[in-house]
Structure 1
Amino acid sequence: MADIRNFIGFAQNETLIKEYDGFRLYFPVKAKVSLAVTSKRLIAYSSVRSFFDVKTESLYQQVSLADIKGVGVVHSMRSRIGLIAFGIVILLMGILTTVIGLTGNMLIELGGIMCSILGVILILPGIFWKKHLFRFEVWGTAWILSIGEFENVMPVTTGGPDLLKVVEELGALLIEIQDGTLYSGQ
Structure 2
Amino acid sequence: MTDIRNFIGFAQNETLIKEYDGLRMYFPVRAKIGIAVTNKRLIAYSTVRSFFNPQSESIYQHAAIADIKGVGVVQSARSRPAAVVLGVFLLLAGALATVIGLTGGSLPALGGGVACVILGIILVIAGLLWKKNLFRFEVWGNAWTLCIGEFDTIRPSVVSGPELLKVVEELGALIVEIQEGTLYTGE
| TM score, norm. by length of structure 2 | 0.88
Aligned twin of 2:150:
149
Contact 1:39 1:183 in 2 (8 A): no
Q: CA RMSD in A?
A: 2.0
Aligned twin of 1:4:
4
Q: For residues 66-112 of structure 1, give each alpha carbon's deviation from its aligned partner in whole angstroms, at most 9, with x where no partner exists.
A: 11111111122222134224313432442354245333523442232
SS at match of 2:179: helix
Contact 1:79 1:127 in 2 (8 A): yes
**Distance in 2, Cα, partners of 1:155 & 1:85:** 23
Deviates more, 1:12-21 or 1:104-113: 104-113
**Distance in 2, Cα, partners of 1:40 & 1:146:** 19
Residue correspondence of structure 1 range 88-107 to structure 2 within 5 A:
88-107=88-107
**Distance in 1, Cα, partners of 2:45 & 2:118:** 47
Aligned twin of 1:86:
86
Is residue 31 of structure 1 aligned with residue 38 of structure 2? no
Aligned twin of 1:173:
174
**Distance in 2, Cα, partners of 1:14 & 1:185:** 10
Aligned twin of 1:61:
61
**Distance in 2, Cα, partners of 1:89 & 1:50:** 39
Contact 1:14 1:185 in 2 (8 A): no
Unaligned runs of at least 5 residues, structure 2: none
Query: Aligned-pair distance for 1:61?
Result: 1.0
Contact 2:100 2:106 in 1 (8 A): no
SS at match of 1:54: coil
Amino acid at match of 2:178: I
**Distance in 2, Cα, partners of 1:179 & 1:85:** 53
Aligned twin of 2:126:
125
**Distance in 2, Cα, partners of 1:153 & 1:94:** 35
Deviates more, 1:13-22 or 1:124-133: 124-133
Count of residue pairs brought into register by the alignment: 186
Amino acid at match of 2:141: G
Unaligned runs of at least 5 residues, structure 1: none
SS at match of 1:102: helix
Which aligned segments of 4 or more residues in structure 1 are displaced greater than 6 angstroms? none
Query: Aligned-pair distance for 1:126?
Result: 1.2
**Distance in 2, Cα, partners of 1:65 & 1:39:** 7
